[in-house]
Each structure stands twice: as structure tokens, then as C-alpha cells.
Amino acid sequence: MNDIAGLRKEYMLHSLKANDMPHDPLVFFEQWFKEALESEVLEANAMALCTVDPKGRPSTRIVLLKGVEDGSYVFYTNYHSNKGQMITLNPNVSLTFFWAELERQVRIEGVAEKVSEQVSDAYFASRPRGSQIGAWVSEQSEVIDNELDLSKVAEHVAQRFEGMEVIRPQHWGGYAVKPEQIEFWQGRPNRLHDRMRYTLQSAENTWQLDRLSP
């Protein structure tokens, strides 16, 4: 392999100053997300979701942010999947966005809970028909023999809903992650990165802002 230890990149694009940070981290996230979209970051809404299994072992995968609603970060998945089962047992999760083009990272820690059936229905109805059928086909995280099995099931589901709307399967829907901590990381020269952390003060329902050492 190449000399991995020797890989280096100097971060020099931006900086973070406490006086420029708003009181509400979701306002700042919206600003950064907009800049990521304007900079044509690839899959700007892709985020690493980390859950924990009953033995305390973490598991991470990429999911897509589909909205920030009522102060929560929303994504959709199969409730029977590994991540769905882990969230049922332990709703404490983390989300991480990494926008390399802007030398930025956002880390979110919070609690996940299912969105209402009405919200899941509305989003499901907005999906392409092929994706709707896919939600019925996939028994996510289960072992399968080969991809041909999926194709056969997909054909069967397509025939079932031919000429009609595809309804949402009950095992598929959304989660809303209510943040308790949000950290904004901005790459800086000489690894002296800017790290600004917001922590929710539950009693006052306000946010405390702290600068962290890199």
C-alpha cells in the first residue's frame, strides 16, 4: 500500500469565531448546509448514523438527511433493519456530516424516535415508484441467497400494485433525531482546527456554546 501515514492536507479555507455564532445551532447548521449545496458538495445530505447494539458495540452506516423538522434531523429506513432494532433498544444515536470540499464536519448527538405515521406516509408518497416498491422488497439486513430473489419479489410487488398507488409498508418509516449536542468543526492550518460545541441546557431549553481544543 501507499504511505498512508504520510498523507497530509493543509486546511486553510475558513475559520470559526464565537462572536459570529448564533444562539441556535440549527440556524448555523442551515447556513452551513446551504453553503454545502451551493458548493455542489457530493451528497451534501449524506450523514454517518451511529447506533449501539445490546452489547455496547457501535455500528455506523451512511443514511440521507431528509429534513430538519421541529428542531430534529429526519431520516427514513426499514424499522426491522439492524439500525432500527438498535434504536428500539437504545435511542441514543450520533450523526456526522463531512463536507471535504469545505473542510467542514458537523457532529450531532441526540435521541431518535419514530416520526408520526402521517409524516412517513407523506414522505413515502413523494418517493419514486421504484423506491416505493423497493421498500416492500427489501428485508433489510437479512441474509439472501442472490440478487435474483430480489428481482422476483420486486416483480411480484409491482404486479400487486399495478394501476394503483403503492402504499407505505408498516415496517418502513422515519426517525427524528432530537439533538442534545452539536459540534461544528472547521479545518485550520497546522491542525489547529476550530471546534465549536453547542450543548442543550434542558432546564432552560437554551444552548451553551463552548470552544474545544483541537
Q: How far apart are CA 179 and CA 97, in angstroms?
A: 14
- Grid cell, residue 192, equals 489547529
Q: How far apart are CA 142 and CA 163, in angstroms?
A: 30
Q: Is 191 a catalytic residue?
A: yes
Res 20: pLDDT? 87
199, 208 Cβ separation under 8 angstroms: yes
Number of domains in the chain: 1
In a domain, 90, yes or no: yes
Domain ranges, residue 102 = 9-119+174-212
In a domain, 28, yes or no: yes
In a domain, 57, yes or no: yes
Q: How far apart are CA 88 and CA 93, in angstroms?
A: 11
Instruction: State pLDDT tens for residues 74-85.
Output: 999 999 999 999
CATH number at residue 37: 2.30.110.10
In a domain, 146, yes or no: no
- Grid cell, residue 28, equals 448555523
In a domain, 161, yes or no: no
Res 150: pLDDT? 77
In a domain, 77, yes or no: yes
Where the chain has pLDDT below 70, the residues are 1-2, 7-12, 140-148
Res 147: pLDDT? 58
In a domain, 153, yes or no: no
pTM: predicted TM-score of the whole model, two decimal places: 0.89
Res 42: pLDDT? 94
In a domain, 144, yes or no: no
The residue from 129, 160, 191, 211 that is catalytic is: 191
18, 208 Cβ separation under 8 angstroms: no
